[in-house]
Amino acid sequence: MSFLSKSQAHTRSQTLEVTRIRVNLDLRDPATTDTTTDTENLHAPTALDTAQTPEQPQTYHARSVIFLTSSDTQVRIDVAAININAVTLDGQDASYQQHDEYIVVDNVPVDEKCKIIVDATMAYSHDGQGLHRFIDSEDGRVYCYTHFEPADAHRAWPCFDQPDIKPVWEFHVHAPTNWIVRSNRSEISDPDNPTPGTWEFGTTEPLPAYLTAVIAGQWYVHSDGEWKFSPAGGPELSVPLTFLCRHSLKKHLDTADLSQVTRQGLDFYHKRYNFAYPWGKYDQVFVPQFNIGAMENPGLVTFNDNYIYREHSTRAQRQQRALTVLHEMCHMWFGDLVTPRWWDDLWLKESFADHEALCALEATRYTTGWATFALGREIWAYDADACSTTHPIVAQAETVEQAQQNFDGITYAKGAAVVKQFVAWLGHDIFVRRMRTYFARYAFATATSQDFFTVLSAGDPTMEQWTQAWLKTAGITALTVTIKDDDLHLHQECADPVTGQPVLRPLAFTIAFWNVDDNNRLTRNETTQIEFAQQITTTPRHSPLFVLNEKDEAYAVVHLPDTLYRDLSQHVASLPSPLTRARVWQTLYQGVRYQWLHPQKFIETVLEQAKDGDATLLPHLGSHVIDATFHMPSTLFRTWNKTIAKTAFAYAKETRDSDSAQAWAQTAAHASAYSGESAFADDIHASMQTLHSIDRQWECVCALSALGQWSTNDIVAFYRRYDHTSRGRRRALEAMYANESTRAQARELLLSPPDSTNVQTLSGIARKDLSNDDIRSVIEGLAWHRQRGSSADIGDMIALWSRFPQHLANHVVAGMYPGPFFVDHDAHDIINETKTWLNIHVDTSAQLQRIVSETYEKHLRRYRSQLKWWPNLVGTK
């Protein structure tokens, strides 16, 4: 694959003015006029259904008409084609050079308007990037959609695949007459004289290639009327709203909830930004086999159709979906209206979309977003920031390959946390006014971080110190609390892992103090606002019990005195606010991760204090309490997972709240699998009978497989009887690989050449038939194992990386890495082999090195926790 570098992109954008691109797509299959699929072949009785049926079209025709002016006689056009059929320059055959994923057109007139037409045969994708084609095994219907971020538009049609070239676009699509086709703009075909099988769409506003989009296929369409808004002093805005999904999922599409969130979000952003939604319509499409959660294509937002929940959905699930809807909606301004000039300014859209979506969520009925952020997404940030591979929020990305790795916890979650800190420091109203200035100044153009800083600082020289400390340095600030003479002494410390230099950051946050009466009840005492940029500050302690950074305004880990860990552990369930409780849970969990708090104490606190806790927080707490067991030796790992499973099964049975029951059942399923106790099979079966969600039932099936209680035949029988769907197929594949005995087969499968026809999986599917979803299912199945592989597996990392596109290779390499480590097992071979591998392969892909290093360091942090608390058990196996 040929990755565009930052310098190449800069040179091209300096020499080109691209005004318009007209794209013509022909998605008709020339071999047949039959648009249906023979579904009989999809249900072989001896295996799971194959991901793609044979004899389906693998290619389509794309033609790009490009209007430009160039100051260079050569123009590079990005296109990853099966065949270049023709290239013309102003109506004449053009001289061009063809490379791996681009062509270079020669003899382009200098500083003159010209028209280049590139006609190509393109390949449908089955890995979720480019133009992805999917056949639903439930009914044989065909669905196609595009996904390009950061730079896969050239896999769909010829273009300039970089963010700072923003022409207007026109799309013309030919497809079977029974298909539905949508693009960024509304269709403009003459309703009085339609052309069957042809869709013509209106001209877009300026867009980079990665934000253009087309969906085509036999979609179910739900029209949801219009959203209207009357801005002060302006004409009424009317935006048509539509939801689309597969027909096999339409009965589960929760249009009432989605519509309410969508309308509330549009209300919120218009009042906040004072800039009218500029993209005409607002389609939201739930697509299959999507690699990420969602994508902000203006006017045609795509979502992973796992967000369509089957049967009973929990409030936590619906809140997460609402947050994703609002995240993508924010991008209509941050990212689409104003686009980062290059990928090192990725934070200018993702950090803000994360932050602003959480603010918008408070305008809906889902009001615990910041609490779940503190326990969920923010932990993702701390994970990434604790690695040696961390980077500043304003990151360096010299290539697209490097940029892909920066779609991480730093850019999203740490960025959002730091924006929240900035609002606390600057003031909400000032922040909103300056965002409005930013949109007005750079609308439909591109911007850099410096452009944004200039607007945000408004000439205030002190803002440079803030941006330098928070956005241009890496690492986690640690706040250590000591108590002296009834005063709190706060000491901040951070060493930038990238530069090794100490960093002092401006901090603004709240401390809440609580009194405890004789009946152990809490009453709020005082609230203190803290602002300091120095190393140490002091503030009065108004009462013994207090919560530092109560509103989670500061991105920092908090190290408390032992007595306060104890007191907070006793009272966390009594704190009245979900966000305050989440802050305490995060502080306790960070105590485990930094070896300040014994993991057993954390587990005991969760099991004692979280029984009747917030249903939206329980899924995160369940994940964290199980993670705490990985900070223990192997014997205690199994013992405490047994305790967690037993308690969680009991809570799931006792609670009257169905959301809490599902959360505890999910925790119980994972803990029972890690415990290795086959005696839990009866509890798992009983849990399956009470769960109202087929996806939660699949969690139980995975646990039974991990315990060796269900065979492949059992799993296939369950799939065929209860969930004979494409999603059920994926969960069945995960369950098959949840059994520890399948690792060798997974390795053989994933290492086989892409065109292999003789390597068989447990389900009988050949390697060439595995979709991107299938590959992820195999990896997710392996995650149910307690012990995964040996030091010999380190040698597979390069081969695994080379087998898959980068977005899949990230999952495969991390999933096949042979962790976790336990002090009472011999982990030295894996640790030493990893160090050797990293030292030897310094010249291999920097992104592969990053994935291996981050996965290794994650396991090593847990191992070091074991070394602290159980040093006498080293090597005692």
Other residues' Cβ atoms within 10 Å of the Cβ of residue 1 = 11
> Rounded to 5 degrees, what are φ and ψ at 55?
60, 30
At a CB cut-off of 8 Å and minimum separation 6, what does 347 contact?
Answer: 393, 394, 395, 411, 415, 449, 471
Q: What tokens does 495 get?
A: 């060493």
Q: Which residue shows structure tokens 């003159």?
A: 112
Please state the pTM of the whole predicted model: 0.94
DSSP secondary structure letter of residue 601: H
Q: Which residue shows structure tokens 């935006």?
A: 239
Distance of alpha carbon 459 from alpha carbon 329, whole angstroms: 30
DSSP secondary structure letter of residue 257: H
Give the pLDDT confidence score for residue 762 in this predicted structure.
52
Distance of alpha carbon 708 from alpha carbon 711, whole angstroms: 7
Q: What is the largest CA-CA distance in the chain?
A: 91
Distance of alpha carbon 649 from alpha carbon 671, whole angstroms: 10
Instruction: Give which of 228, 238, 60, 251 is closest to 139, Cα–Cα.
Output: 251
Residues linked to residue 170 through DSSP beta bridges, in sequence order: 22
Helix (H, G, I), strand (E, B) or coil at 187: strand
Question: How do 16-26 and 168-174 pair as beta strands?
Answer: parallel
Which regions of the chain are under pLDDT 50? 33-46, 50-54, 757-760, 764-767
Q: What tokens does 107 get?
A: 């003899």
Residue-wise pLDDT for 665-690, tens only, equals: 999 999 999 999 999 999 999 999 88
Q: What tokens does 603 get?
A: 């587990």
Distance of alpha carbon 541 from alpha carbon 631, whole angstroms: 33
What is the secondary structure of 429-471 as a DSSP string? HHHHHHHHHHHHHHTTSEE-HHHHHHHHHTT-THHHHHHHHHH
Helix (H, G, I), strand (E, B) or coil at 535: coil
Q: Which residue shows structure tokens 């530092």?
A: 548
Distance of alpha carbon 752 from alpha carbon 825, whole angstroms: 31
Helix H, strand E, coil C: the string for 299-330 is CEEEEEHHHCCCCCCCHHHHHHHHHHHHHHHH
Distance of alpha carbon 767 from alpha carbon 761, whole angstroms: 8
Contact 624, 671 (CB under 8 A): no
Give the pLDDT confidence score for residue 769 in this predicted structure.
62
Give the pLDDT confidence score for residue 796 in this predicted structure.
92
Residues linked to residue 66 through DSSP beta bridges, in sequence order: 21, 116
Distance of alpha carbon 375 from alpha carbon 397, whole angstroms: 29
Give the pLDDT confidence score for residue 33 in this predicted structure.
43
Q: What tokens does 499 get?
A: 């530069």
